[in-house]
Amino acid sequence: MRRDLLDTFARKLSLDDVVVIEATGNASSAAAVVAPHVKKVVIANPKQVRIIAYAKIKTDTIDAIVLAQLYASGFLPEVWIPDEPTQALRRQVTRRNQIVRQRSH
């Protein structure tokens, strides 16, 4: 995923839109790019969305439809999205751990 392409896509969205993103390693980054352009960004927990996890036919289009239906019906298990100060603290702790590991080996 390229940030410039995601930003171009996000600019086409409306402030009335809700975007659902499946939780992955870069979901928070994607949410941060999209959030200013929409009403709400929801990160779905894929381990709890068993319909997608155990689907026999798995495509991005089918996954998107299922996530939209689960959100619309109120049954989408969401992942908590930390605020910016919490994310900054997490980055700081991660960086500190990296430095400690480098110096102790």
Q: What pLDDT tens digit does each residue of the chain (105 aa) get?
A: 799 999 999 999 999 999 999 888 888 889 999 999 999 999 998 777 777 767 777 788 888 888 899 899 998 888 888 888 998 999 999 999 999 999 987
Alpha-carbon span 6 to 34, nearest angstrom: 8
Count Cα atoms within 13 angstroms, Cβ side, for 103: 6
Q: What is the pLDDT of residue 80?
A: 86
CB 21 within 8 A of CB 1: no
Residue with token string 């352009």: 37
Torsion sign over Cα 21, 22, 23, 29 = negative
* 3-class state of residue 94 by DSSP: helix
Domain boundaries, the chain: 3-104
Full-model pTM: 0.72
